[in-house]
Structure formats: C-alpha cells, structure tokens
Amino acid sequence: MTEAPITTVDCVLLTLRAGALHVALLRREAAPFKGALALPGGYVHPAEDVDALAAARRVLREKADVVPPYLEQLCTFAGSGRDPRGWSISIAHYALVHEAVLGARPTLVPVDELPQLPFDHGRIVETAVHRVRDKSSYSTLPCYLLPPTFTLSALQRTYEQVLGVALDKSQFRRRIAEWSFLEEVPGAFSAGKGRPAQLYRIRPRQRLELFDRTV
C-alpha cells in the first residue's frame, strides 16, 4: 500500500555573473539523462541527513563543492510525469552564492536563456528565479550574491541586476539604513577609480531577512 516513491533533493544554485543571474548545472553521471546538464541533486540518505535541508546541504557539498551562505527550501515537485522511472518526489531548494566560491565544476547558464533541461528542472529553475526576484524586493536576499564584504554601490547594483530595474541611490541607502542589518567594516574601504567607498558586512547574529515590502 505504501509503494514509496523515489525521493530526491534538487538544488537551484544561483549566482551573479556579468550582471546577470546564472544557475549552476552539473553533468549527470547516471541514467536517466546521463551526460545531460541538470540541477545538482541526489537521493535523500536517511542515515546521514536529519532533514531535507541537511540533505540539500550535503548534495551541494558533495556534488558542487559549495557551502552556500543562504539555502532555503523552495517547493516540492512530485508526480508521475516528471521522471521516466515513475512517480517521484523532488524537494527543491535554492541557494545564493558569490560567483567566486564556485569552482570550475559547475557550468553556469544565464537563467533567462535556459536550454532544455531533463526532468522538470526547467520549471524548478523558473520557480526559484521567480521566488528570488520577488523576495528580493523586500528582503536582504541579494546580499548573499556578494562577497562577505561589499560597498553600498555594489549592493545597489546587485539589487538592480536581480530586480531588473534602476533604483534611486538616495532612497536605496535610506532603506538599507532603516533595516540596519549591515555594519561598517571599521577602516575598510574599496580601491578603484573615484572616491573610496566604505565596506559593509552583514551584522553577525542578525539573520533577519524580511522587511518592509519594497526596496
């Protein structure tokens, strides 16, 4: 009566490269779709993983060699139509990382020019991107696409690239200041062309993410 279905976790690993959101894909080492580019994923290992998030974390560590600063459950995709082997479940997660922490293993693909992907991975990526774009307008999510320390201008560029709109500098800074989830890195400034900029980092404890609704 139980006929337990195939149970996996899949991860949409997103990063910002050349000003555009990219998703990290890996070549599948096993059938079905052996050799195709697909989301990093794998079976849940009941003996090792205490829960689904832990399974996702393990998959990312083992297969993509990444420990992301932000990882969250996205949605569960389940049904008879998504895997040729039969009824299956994928507990999908999404993660944000700075490009630099990705090694050479994953292939980065712009999310707005997705190729055909195996299973329903195309739909999973779309759902994740939609979620990230939506949530970015009222949360600190885009911070996790940057290195641990960054300037406010870099942060604004990141928000703009994720949201796909231009933001007003003065207003953007007002809001970020209100949320006060950032702190100055004392004495640290960016190099570069014009006036050096103060570097900021996410305030230690403070892992709050959701704020007033609109950037």
Partner DNA sequence: CAAATAGTGTCTCTAAGACATTATACT
Partner DNA sequence: AGTATAATGTCTTAGAGACACTATTTG
Residue 43 contact, options DNA, a second copy, none, Cβ 5-8 Å cut-off depending on partner type? a second copy
Residue 68 C-alpha from the chain's centroid:
8
CB atoms within 10 A of CB 116: 8
Residue 33: which of 125, 141, 122, 142 has the closest Cα? 122
Pick from 76, 107, 149, 171: which binds DNA (CB under 7 A)?
171
- Binding map of a second copy across residues 43-62, x = CB under 8 A, - = no contact: xx-xx-xxxx-x--------
Q: Report the C-alpha gap between 70 and 83 in whole angstroms.
A: 28
Q: Report the C-alpha gap between 104 and 92 in whole angstroms.
A: 23
Q: C-alpha distances in angstroms, 112 versus 3, 23, 162, 202?
A: 38, 10, 12, 29
Number of residues located near a second copy, criterion CB under 8 A: 30
**Least gap, CB of 89 to a second copy (angstroms):** 7
Q: Is 127 in the site for a second copy (CB under 8 A)?
A: no
- Binding map of DNA across residues 60-99, x = CB under 7 A, - = no contact: ----------------------------------------
3-state secondary structure of 194: coil
Residue 181 C-alpha from the chain's centroid:
20
Residue 46 contact, options a second copy, DNA, none, Cβ 5-8 Å cut-off depending on partner type? a second copy
**Least gap, CB of 101 to a second copy (angstroms):** 27
- Binding map of DNA across residues 140-169, x = CB under 7 A, - = no contact: -----------xxxx-------------xx
